[in-house]
Amino acid sequence: MPVERCDALPNDRPATSRTGHGPRLEVDLAALAANWRTLASEAAQAVCSAVVKADAYGLGLEPCARALLKAGCRTFFVAHLDEGLALRRIAGPVPEIFVLNGFLGERREDYCAGALVPVLNTAGEARAWAEAPPLAAALQVETGMNRLGLARDEARAFLAALPAEAAMRVTLLMSHLACADEPAHPQNAAQRARLAGLGDVLPHARRSLANSGGIVLGPAFHFDLVRPGIALYGGAAGARGALRTVARLHARVLQVKEVPPGEGVGYGATSRADGPRRIATVSAGYADGILRSLSGCGVAHVGGILAPYAGRVSMDSLALDISSAEPDAVREGDEAELFGDAVSVDALAARAGTISYELLARLGGRLLKVYK
- pLDDT digit string, tens, across residues 175-211: 999 999 999 999 999 999 999 998 788 899 999 999 9
User: Which stretches in the chain have pLDDT values below 70?
Assistant: 1-20, 237-241
Regarding whether 275 and 152 lie in a shared domain, the answer is no
Regarding whether 278 and 214 lie in a shared domain, the answer is no
Regarding whether 267 and 191 lie in a shared domain, the answer is no
Burial 155-179 (b: 16+ CB within 10 A, else e): beebbeeeeeebbebbbbbbbbbbb
The single residue of 57, 70, 257, 267 carrying the catalytic annotation is 267
What does DSSP say about strands 137-140 and 116-120: parallel, antiparallel, or unpaired? Answer: parallel
Residue 267 annotated in active site: yes
- CATH number of the domain bearing residue 279: 2.40.37.10
* Residue 177 belongs to a domain: yes
Q: Give the pLDDT confidence of 210-242 residue by residue, as tens digits.
A: 999 999 999 999 999 999 999 999 997 655 668
pLDDT of residue 19: 56
Cβ neighbours of residue 268 under 8 Å, at least 6 residues apart?
311, 312
Domain count, the chain: 2
pLDDT of residue 69: 98
* Residue 84 belongs to a domain: yes
Q: Tell me the residue range of the domain where 148 lies.
A: 29-233
Regarding whether 253 and 219 lie in a shared domain, the answer is no
pLDDT of residue 337: 98
Regarding whether 289 and 141 lie in a shared domain, the answer is no
Residue 257 annotated in active site: no
* Residue 16 belongs to a domain: no
Regarding whether 123 and 228 lie in a shared domain, the answer is yes
Cβ 174 vs Cβ 220: under 8 Å: no
CA max distance for the chain = 84
Q: How many CA atoms lie within 13 A of 134 on its CB side?
A: 7
The single residue of 53, 233, 309, 371 carrying the catalytic annotation is 53
Cβ 215 vs Cβ 39: under 8 Å: yes
